[in-house]
Amino acid sequence: MATQIEIVQQLSTMTSRGALQAARELAAESLVKFPDDGRLWEIAGLLDHAKGDPDSCERRLETAQTLTPLRPAASCGLADAYRHFGRNALAKDLYAHVVTLDQSSIRLWQYCALRLDEIGAVAQAVDAARRVAAAQPENAQSIFEFGYYLSRFGTASQLVAAVMKQAISLAPDQVSYRLGLADLLLSTGDRSAAFAWIQGLSARQIEQLTCPCCLERLARLFESGNDWVRAHACRVWIDRHSVNERPTARFSSSFLIQEYLLETDGLRQATSAAALRA
């Protein structure tokens, strides 16, 4: 009979290969044999999460919580289940807790920022984004997202603009950052400053955007500066390439189970290294 460690390794292999249903079945069988193994309950719950079964996910992760402290990815999975059922206060507490944990990955902090914003916990989303930006001060996306959440929180536009300009300085060719800053400046009534950040964009740069809403916003900004040629180019790009596009989810359905298995692999390697040093 396979040991618990061997089962976890099998589940990790199955998940990495995308065999989520087979992994769920093995996890369910393993829980019968090892009902007191909190790790297996966590994995089973996160596999339920990946397959879109919030009810089973909630039950299994709450069971895991009675057997072992939840690891960060499992806490996020339980928070997602609570969010699905409208228990947003509990979800907020779990997401915010994960942000405080040093063992959480930067990716999980980003995940928590997004989810906290979705449930209206914008102050906590700012905290998560601030932690990401502090950990990656040269990463333009992390800096820009910090500015975005600051804006959502109602922070003074001058401070938000300063953060967004920092992101643009790190990635000057990233059109979406320029669009975000231009939108912000336009909202303050500074039309000329808003137009200045997008007026030099080439057709190649405009084609970086595939989101119809973003392209429409950019077209309107060009119209505000009487740049009808570029406004037309935006709408042509929408018609030719973006009509049937659907937004791509930032995090895949299997993100949390993959993060969990990375966490457990990292802990196993650290334990092995410590044993070798001893």
Confidence at residue 4, expressed as pLDDT on a 0 to 100 scale: 85
CA gap 192, 170 in Å, rounded: 23
pLDDT band per the 50, 70, 90 thresholds, residue 32: very high
- DSSP designation for 69: P
Q: What does the block give as tokens for 209?
A: 């955007």
Mapping DSSP to helix (H, G, I), strand (E, B) and coil, where does residue 139 land?
coil
For the four alpha carbons of 262, 265, 267 and 270, in that order, the dihedral sign comes to negative
Taking CA atoms, 208 is separated from 145, 174, 211, in Å, by: 18, 8, 9
pLDDT band per the 50, 70, 90 thresholds, residue 209: confident
Inside any domain, residue 196: yes
**Side-chain half-sphere exposure of 185, counting CA atoms within 13 A:** 22
Average pLDDT in the 20-29 region? 94
Inside any domain, residue 207: yes
Contact 54, 91 (CB under 8 A): no
Inside any domain, residue 275: no
Confidence at residue 272, expressed as pLDDT on a 0 to 100 scale: 36
Inside any domain, residue 222: yes
pLDDT band per the 50, 70, 90 thresholds, residue 3: confident
Average pLDDT in the 18-47 region? 95
Inside any domain, residue 24: no
Inside any domain, residue 185: yes
What phi and psi values does residue 156 have, to the nearest 5 degrees? -50, 135
pLDDT band per the 50, 70, 90 thresholds, residue 241: low
Inside any domain, residue 184: yes
For the four alpha carbons of 259, 260, 264 and 270, in that order, the dihedral sign comes to positive
Angle at 167 (CA atoms; ends 161, 173), nearest 5 degrees: 115
Average pLDDT in the 128-147 region? 97
Q: What is the pLDDT of residues 246-264, one digit of tens each?
A: 445 678 999 999 999 998 8
Rounded to whole angstroms, the maximal C-alpha distance in the chain is: 73
* Tokens 């044999």, residue located: 33
Q: What is the pLDDT of residues 63-120, one digit of tens each?
A: 999 999 999 999 999 999 999 999 999 999 999 999 999 999 999 999 999 999 999 9
**Distance from the Cα of residue 262 to its chain's centroid:** 16
Q: What is the pLDDT of residues 113-126, one digit of tens each?
A: 999 999 999 999 99
CA gap 106, 250 in Å, rounded: 14
What is the total count of domains within the chain? Answer: 1
Angle at 164 (CA atoms; ends 138, 194), nearest 5 degrees: 145
Radius of gyration of the chain (CA): 22
Q: What is the pLDDT of residues 162-189, one digit of tens each?
A: 999 999 999 999 999 999 999 999 999 9
pLDDT at 230 over 50: yes
Q: Output 255 or 209, whichever has higher pLDDT.
A: 255
Q: For residue 70, which of 48, 90, 42 has the smallest C-alpha distance? A: 42
Inside any domain, residue 132: no
Q: What does the block give as tokens for 251?
A: 């995090």
